[in-house]
Amino acid sequence: MPYQLLKFALSKKHPEPAFFRQPAELKPSYDAVIIGGGGHGLAAAYYLAKEHGLTNVAVLERGYLGGGNTGRNTTIIRSNYLTPEGVAFYDASVKLWENLSQELDLNLFYSTRGHFTLAHTESAMRTMRWRAEVNKQMGVESEVVGPDVIQAAVPELDMSCSGHAPILGALYHKPGSVARHDAVAWGFGRAASEMGVEIFQNTEVTGLDIRNGRIAGVHTSRGTIKTGKVLSAVAGYTPRITKMAGFDTPIVIHPLQACVTEPMKPWLNTILVSGSLHVYVSQSSRGELVMGASLDPYEVHATRSTLDFVEGLSSHILDMFPFLAGIKVVRQWAGMADMTPDFAPVMGKTPVEGLYLDAGWGTWGFKATPISGKTMAHTLATDKPHELIHGFRLDRFRDFELTGEKGAASVGH
Ligand code: FAD
Ligand code: PYC
């Protein structure tokens, strides 16, 4: 078997097809440049080419595709948000997700499991009722359910959480799903590349060329490019880009950590979140439990992991599932979450003409990948913000018109 594999790998007769074209050199100019080869940047490139015929586009990625938060998240997809702006936006994303494997001709392992947000206090129950009402009003399937429904869905769950935090009920959101994160980056990248978009890995944007308040080009580790349109989709690196552009946003960077256990036989067929215990957990198609907790409480621009995190998370997971006591955590990692004060993203135009921002994705942006790509492509191509992103404009902080989504974040803060 290893010999066969080696033979295949070295064979010139059956080379693996490259996922996307890798041009040797940057062109001197492009119609648009996208900074960041995560899901959002690549999705924007895809929709720019597909829906607006803009293909003279370069995507510049300082590392490798999907190596940022796209490849580090726990892949929860849902639209059970709190504000009408949020619900409409994430619902449009879920609708795109449902057909994305077919559209990109790549199996994204999109798996609809249902999503329970557990409530352990009366005030949490009140928020669940509020979310359920907003969701239903907007045609999104969410309902408040009692302990019997939760126990029937997850018989292994200790409903008293070892006596520490008895579960009173939950918000149940039937469309809640998970997907394979790195495939999302590859799928959008491949499809964009097939339409003519050029993707450059190991290519870092080091400066912006701004003349008379307009973007004129970008400086990169491989030379300078002229362009009149730049989209920054760099998540945890956003403050570095806005510093280059000479304006500020209220985004701060906090690490968010996650981990997986060794594989087990399938037993958890849904997605469980507990804001009070700071836990979210699902079981991957490989049988691992994929788990995360709250943000690290201080601003750090790094992706280091801590023992503190695994200890805290494990103790809460064991409150919920004492039978997991002998199961090993086999991997842990972190991403840099670009947090906003109202837990909604920052999307659209900036004080620099021709420079657009897709940022503030904090702990919630994976589910938004397709719709952020589609709406940012529209915004870039037409120079008019897409109607779905009005609630996410940068100016809302100046105008005191926040889009408060904190009550719908899965992650404790
Ligand atoms: P990224 O994937 O981070 O891509 C940005 C890219 O820009 C990076 O690859 C980076 O290398 C590149 N870059 C940066 N600076 C430069 C430069 N100067 N030049 C060139 N390239 C540059 N969201 C959910 O919806 N559900 C979840 O369950 C969930 N869980 C999460 C769990 C964890 C542990 C973390 C960290 C995040 C989680 N998120 C979740 C959030 C989600 O992962 C992100 O919001 C989303 O992936 C952001 O995608 P992106 O494409 O904007 O950014
Ligand atoms: O947005 O659903 C979410 C989420 C879960 C874990 C991190 N983010």
Averaged pLDDT for residues 249-276: 97
Query: In this model, does residue 410 exceed pLDDT 90?
Result: no
Mean pLDDT of the chain: 96
pLDDT class of 5 with cuts at 50, 70, 90:
confident
Query: In this model, does residue 332 exceed pLDDT 90?
Result: yes
**Of all atoms in ligand 2, which is nearest to the CA of residue 256?**
7
Contact 290, 331 (CB under 8 A): no
Per-residue pLDDT, 104 = 98
- Tell me the pLDDT tens digit for each residue of 137-187: 999 999 999 999 999 999 999 999 999 999 999 999 999 999 999 999 999
Per-residue pLDDT, 20 = 79
pLDDT class of 290 with cuts at 50, 70, 90:
very high
Measured between alpha carbons, how far is 399 from 396 in angstroms, rounded to an integer?
A: 5
Looking at per-residue pLDDT, the higher value among 276 and 386 belongs to 386
Mutate to test the pocket of ligand 1, among 60, 73, 331 (most ligand atoms within 8 A of CB): 73
Query: In this model, does residue 346 exceed pLDDT 70?
Result: yes
Query: In this model, does residue 31 exceed pLDDT 70?
Result: yes
pTM: 0.96
Among the listed residues 108, 98, 130, the one whose alpha carbon sits nearest the alpha carbon of residue 117? 130
255 Cα–ligand 1 center, Å:
11
Whether ligand 2 lies within 6 angstroms of the CB of 335 is answered as no
Sheet holding 271-274, edge to edge: 142-145, 169-173, 115-119, 271-274, 279-283, 289-295, 252-261, 329-339
Measured between alpha carbons, how far is 290 from 183 in angstroms, rounded to an integer?
A: 17
Query: In this model, does residue 1 exceed pLDDT 80?
Result: no
Measured between alpha carbons, how far is 69 from 49 in angstroms, rounded to an integer?
A: 24
Whether ligand 2 lies within 6 angstroms of the CB of 364 is answered as yes
Per-residue pLDDT, 201 = 96
Interhelix angle for 84-98 vs 122-137, to 10°? Answer: 70
pLDDT class of 18 with cuts at 50, 70, 90:
confident
Weakest mean pLDDT among 11-20, 247-256, 404-413? 11-20
Whether ligand 2 lies within 6 angstroms of the CB of 80 is answered as no
Weakest mean pLDDT among 6-10, 21-25, 187-191, 255-259? 6-10
Contact 115, 80 (CB under 8 A): yes
pLDDT class of 4 with cuts at 50, 70, 90:
confident
Query: In this model, does residue 413 exceed pLDDT 80?
Result: no
Query: In this model, does residue 218 exceed pLDDT 80?
Result: yes
- The yes or no reply on domain 3-72+182-250+342-408 and CATH 3.50.50.60 is yes
- Tell me the pLDDT tens digit for each residue of 375-399: 999 999 999 999 999 999 999 999 9
Measured between alpha carbons, how far is 241 from 310 in angstroms, rounded to an integer?
A: 32
Ligand 1 neighbours (beta carbon < 6 A): 35-41, 60-63, 67-70, 72-76, 204-205, 233-237, 256, 258, 292, 335, 337, 361, 363-367
Sheet holding 198-200, edge to edge: 198-200, 57-60, 32-35, 230-232, 355-359, 346-349
The 3-state DSSP class for residue 40 equals helix
Per-residue pLDDT, 10 = 78
Burial of 55 (0-12, 13-18, 19+ CB in 10 A): middle
pLDDT class of 19 with cuts at 50, 70, 90:
confident
- For ligand 2, atom 5, name the residue with the nearest CA: 410
- Tell me the pLDDT tens digit for each residue of 87-144: 999 999 999 999 999 999 999 999 999 999 999 999 999 999 999 999 999 999 999 9
- The yes or no reply on domain 112-177+252-339 and CATH 3.30.9.10 is yes
pLDDT class of 12 with cuts at 50, 70, 90:
confident
Averaged pLDDT for residues 216-235: 98
Please tell me what DSSP assigns to residue 84: H
Per-residue pLDDT, 16 = 65
The domain limits of the chain are 3-72+182-250+342-408, 112-177+252-339
The residues near 326 (Cβ < 8 Å, ≥ 6 apart) are none
Where does 105-243 show beta strands of DSSP type E?
Answer: 111-112, 115-119, 142-145, 169-173, 177-178, 198-200, 205-211, 214-220, 223-226, 230-232
Looking at per-residue pLDDT, the higher value among 4 and 330 belongs to 330
Report the relative pairing of strands 205-211 and 230-232 from DSSP bridges. unpaired
50 Cα–ligand 2 center, Å:
29
Residue that has been written with the tokens 């992103």 in this structure: 389
* Percent of the chain with pLDDT strictly greater than 90: 92
Query: In this model, does residue 30 exceed pLDDT 70?
Result: yes
Looking at per-residue pLDDT, the higher value among 409 and 268 belongs to 268
Looking at per-residue pLDDT, the higher value among 410 and 80 belongs to 80
